[in-house]
Amino acid sequence: MEDRPKLLILYATQTGNALDAAERVGREAERRGCPVKLLSMDEYDVSSLPHEDTIIFVVSTTGQGDTPDPMKVFWRFLLQRNLSKHWLEGVHYAVFGLGDSGYQKYNFAAKKLDKRLADLGAVPIVEKGLGDDQHPSGYEAALDPWMSSLWSILNKINPKFFPQGPYLAISDMKLIDQPKVQITYHGDDNVDSQFPTNPDLKWIEMQIGWARSMSPGKFTHDKTRPGCFLKMIKNQPLTRAGCGKDVRHFEFEFVSSAIEYVVGDILEVLPGQNSAAVDAFIQRCSLDPDALITVHPREKDNHFLRTCTSAKVPIKLKTFVELTMDVASASPRRYFFEVMSYFATAPHEKERLQYFASPEGRDDLYQYNQKERRTVLEVLEDFPSVEISFEWLVQLVPPLKTRAFSISSSPSAHPNQVHLTVDVVSWTTPFKRKRSGLCSMWLAKLDPEQSIYVPAWFQKGTLHPPPPSLPLILIGPGTGCAPFRGFVEERAIQSESNATAPVIFFFGCRNEENDFLYRDFWLSHAQDGGVLSEAKGGGFFVAFSRDQPQKVYVQHKMRENSQTIWKLLSKGAAVYVAGSSTKMPSDVLSAFEDIVSMEGGLPKESAVRWLRALEKAGSYHVEAWS
């Protein structure tokens, strides 16, 4: 019998969404009788592309139109000039992108990839699909119709993929009965010697490493063991109590060996989970919290094998849940409801779960699940007849992810410390349920007197530290000011021994009295010859958006000070923008276009090209978050 072709699916994800989508595409292909090979782009030898017949790409866009980390080497290879326009001749491909239309460069990575593949001679099977986080049903609103077209056209190109046709799905139970992980339960011999009563830092570090290396949650190898541990020494509110916002200034000391960092870097924190919620999850799922377990991939070629270490150390089930499974914050994916439907014994629950998992129920599921930010624990409690095995839970519960924050300190100004500026996130859902951000709320509740160890990792940011001789134009409304506090501290120290270039900073908030973050800090540096003072050629400009009838934002203050901005741009200044990813970065760019056009006497098109050249030269930096 002739070998059946395997459908190759390559994905690149930053937060896990593209992996979820890729796995969904893989499951749907398998249900049509088509074998699948699913790989992250950084696991695939890109030089093998011309030898493939058909490839499906699922890629997310991160930051301001950037490719996700696992795609970077792959993408650099594709950009080589020596690749001819016939290099991928005969290769069929399809691209599905995940993005957010609130960002300026919406789905940029998928669009770039699609164009480059076509330029190299590959043939698109279907028009690229673009999933949008802003859609009421998220990216799945675009994924469903895109897959439907994909199977239909793929079947016409090569019927061997679907021997029984593209619409004949295999019985789901055949695909649902084996989770991708298996749990081994170990006896409790020598438990007393294995689990110390007073765990030290090294023990905690090893526990985190063991648990996260066994999890199927796609943590990169350097994200299993913490890079360091921090101890909070200050937890200070920056906003007025009762004003509707809660922004905190946190200061941490290194309790393990100090890590070198520079201004503009990122700190990632692994949050602690609510212990009562973890206990409730364990009780709801009839699990033994003290059971000693190891977690393994069921198949040798399973695509999460790379995250598992060869020498596994048993760990308590409760510890594994606490460190790897987000049971009381993240919302489960659609596939979770699908699997639950097979284990529901109450007919009305089974029917509702099947509806939620169907294309027809997609919008209602979005309202029930994502819109309300239902947690795994809440969903399980809403469907009490569902008894689901721990193997399935390990596979399907969203992984506990680290949270990234811009560092708001200079290591020169604060040796052995790192500072963060954190918006403590809380909101009310459409059904008036109170929700809060897992990590920001956990940090806000930490008491510096308690000496809680905070697992953390340092990462390079997109705001590269500038040399002292470089003039700076900084725009950071709200918590976007965080990295620039570090920039100003660093420049102030540099100015004590050397001449430094001017710095101007545009800050924005709602009210002068409520949320003027670090007010005294900025004002002190804006006078008496400080780095933001006029005497040093600098400036500090604040937009209070709600203190007058008409709203005033940073872009308005920029236009008011267009001559100052143009003067610095003419001297080769670098631009740094940080803050909310929704409208701010594009509004700021638009203000720059107007300023360059007006002050430089250029047509608008030339001003746009001028700023694009500034960006390409690495002198226009944006770090935005949603």
Residues of the binding site: 13-18, 60-63, 133, 373, 403-406, 437-440, 479, 545-546, 551-555, 587, 625
Sign of the torsion formed by the C-alpha atoms of 439, 442, 445 and 450? negative
In whole angstroms, what is the distance from residue 574 CA to residue 615 CA? 9
**Phi, psi (deg, nearest 5) at residue 59:** -135, 145
In whole angstroms, what is the distance from residue 235 CA to residue 460 CA? 25
Give 209's DSSP letter.
H
Q: Which residues pair with 285 in a beta bridge?
A: none
Residues of the binding site for FMN: 13-18, 60-63, 133
In whole angstroms, what is the distance from residue 122 CA to residue 56 CA? 12
Give the C-alpha distances (Å, rounded to integers) separating 373 from 39, 341, 465.
Answer: 29, 20, 37
In whole angstroms, what is the distance from residue 557 CA to residue 554 CA? 5
Residues of the binding site for FAD: 373, 403-406, 437-440, 625
Coil vs helix vs strand at 124: strand
Amino acid at 107: N
**Phi-psi sector, 537: left (phi>0), alpha (psi -120 to 50), beta:** left
Sign of the torsion formed by the C-alpha atoms of 434, 439, 444 and 448? positive
Helix (H) or strand (E) holding 505: strand 503-509
Helices and strands in the chain: count of H runs, count of E runs: 21, 22
At how many degrees (to 10) do helices 317-324 and 201-214 cross?
80
**Phi, psi (deg, nearest 5) at residue 389:** -70, 155
**Residues 6 or more apart in contact with residue 215 via CB below 8 angstroms:** 295, 307, 320, 324, 325, 394, 399
- The burial of 397, by beta-carbon neighbours within 10 Å (0-12 exposed, 13-18 middle, 19 or more buried), is given as buried
In whole angstroms, what is the distance from residue 139 CA to residue 17 CA? 9
In whole angstroms, what is the distance from residue 438 CA to residue 551 CA? 32
Are residues 505 and 532 in contact, defined by beta-carbon separation less than 8 angstroms?
Answer: yes
Cα–Cα–Cα angle for 503, 505, 511, rounded to 5 degrees: 160
Amino acid at 622: V
Six token digits for residue 7 = 């459908």
Give the C-alpha distances (Å, rounded to integers) separating 473 from 529, 560, 589.
Answer: 18, 15, 13
Amino acid at 226: P
Six token digits for residue 356 = 């939620």
**Phi-psi sector, 618: left (phi>0), alpha (psi -120 to 50), beta:** left
Helices (DSSP H) in 398-545: which residue ranges? 438-445, 482-495, 519-525
Helices (DSSP H) in 527-603: which residue ranges? 554-560, 562-570, 584-600
Are residues 344 and 383 in contact, defined by beta-carbon separation less than 8 angstroms?
Answer: yes
In whole angstroms, what is the distance from residue 192 CA to residue 164 CA? 57
